[in-house]
Amino acid sequence: MHQSKLRSWRLPVTASVVLLGATALTACSGDGGSAGAGSEDGYEIAVLLSSSQNGYNQAVAKGVQEMADELDADINLTLLDGQFNADTQLSQMETAGVGDKYDGVVVVPFDGPALAAAFPLGNGIPVTSVLNPIGPDLSEMEPQVEGVVSTVAVPAGEAAAKQAEDVVTYCADLDPCKVVLLVGQLNAPLDVTREESYREVLEAEDNIEIVTTVEGNYDPDQSATTITNVLQSTPDVNVILSNADQQTKGAQIALEDAGIDPSTVYLTGGGGTTESIQNVRDGIWKADYINFPVSMGAAAMEQLYNALTGADVESYVNADEVGEIEPYATKETLDETPDYVGEWEG
Partner 1 sequence: MTSTTARTTAPRITPAKALAFLRDYAVLILLAALLIVLAIASPSFFTFANLVNIVNQNTPLALIAVAGTFVIISGSFDLSTAAIYAVGSVAAAWVAMETGNVVLGLLAPPVIGLALGVFNGLAVTVLRVHSFLATLASSLIFQAIAVLITGGALIQVSLDGFSELGRGRIGGVFYTVVILIVFVAIMWFVLKGTVFGRHVFAVGGNPDAAQLSGVRVDRTRVMVFALSGLAAGMAAAIGVSRIASGQPQAGAGLEFDAIAAIILGGTSIYGGVGAVWRSVAGVFLIALIGNGFDILGFNPQIKDLVTGAIILAAVGLAAAGIKRR
SS3 36: coil
Residue 273 bridge partners (DSSP): 344
Which backbone phi and psi does 270 adopt, to 5 degrees? -145, 135
Q: Does 203 bind partner 1 (CB under 8 A)?
A: no
Are the C-beta atoms of 143 and 304 separated by less than 8 Å? no
Residue whose C-alpha is closest to residue 84's, from 57, 46, 116, 63: 57
Q: CA-to-CA distance for 338 and 320, rounded, in angstroms?
A: 19
Q: Does 16 bind partner 1 (CB under 8 A)?
A: no
Toward partner 1, which CB reaches closer, 100 or 256? 256
Q: Does 8 bind partner 1 (CB under 8 A)?
A: no
Q: Does 157 bind partner 1 (CB under 8 A)?
A: no
Toward partner 1, which CB reaches closer, 121 or 230? 230
Q: Which spans in the chain are helix H?
A: 2-29, 55-71, 86-96, 112-115, 156-171, 189-202, 220-233, 245-257, 274-281, 293-309, 331-335
Question: Which parts of 26-55 interact with partner 1 (CB under 8 A)?
Answer: 51-55
- Work out which of 6, 37, 98, 204 binds partner 1, going by CB under 8 A: 6
Question: Which parts of 128-147 interact with partner 1 (CB under 8 A)?
Answer: none
287-290 and 266-271 beta bridge pairing: parallel
Toward partner 1, which CB reaches closer, 141 or 249? 249
Q: Does 17 bind partner 1 (CB under 8 A)?
A: yes
Toward partner 1, which CB reaches closer, 169 or 187? 187
If phi over 0 gives left and psi between -120 and 50 gives alpha, with beta otherwise, what is residue 123? alpha
Q: Does 257 bind partner 1 (CB under 8 A)?
A: yes
Q: Does 225 bind partner 1 (CB under 8 A)?
A: yes
Question: Which parts of 80-109 interact with partner 1 (CB under 8 A)?
Answer: none
Q: Does 249 bind partner 1 (CB under 8 A)?
A: yes
Min CB(270)–partner 1 separation in Å: 17
Q: Does 233 bind partner 1 (CB under 8 A)?
A: yes
Min CB(238)–partner 1 separation in Å: 16
Q: Does 253 bind partner 1 (CB under 8 A)?
A: yes
Min CB(187)–partner 1 separation in Å: 7
- Work out which of 131, 230, 239, 277 binds partner 1, going by CB under 8 A: 230
Q: Does 241 bind partner 1 (CB under 8 A)?
A: no
Task: For CA atoms 17, 22, 27, 29, give the dihedral sign.
Answer: positive
Cβ partners under 8 Å of residue 301, min gap 6:
45, 63, 64, 67, 68, 71, 75, 106, 128
SS3 142: coil
Q: Does 228 bind partner 1 (CB under 8 A)?
A: yes
Helix 156-171 to helix 189-202 angle (10° resolution) is: 30
Are the C-beta atoms of 67 and 301 separated by less than 8 Å? yes
Q: CA-to-CA distance for 254 and 167, rounded, in angstroms?
A: 20
Q: Does 232 bind partner 1 (CB under 8 A)?
A: yes
Toward partner 1, which CB reaches closer, 250 or 297? 250
Q: Does 214 bind partner 1 (CB under 8 A)?
A: yes
Min CB(202)–partner 1 separation in Å: 15
Q: Which residues bind partner 1 (CB under 8 A)?
A: 6, 10, 13-14, 17, 51-55, 57-58, 186-187, 211-215, 219-221, 224-226, 228-230, 232-233, 249-250, 253, 256-257, 275, 344-346
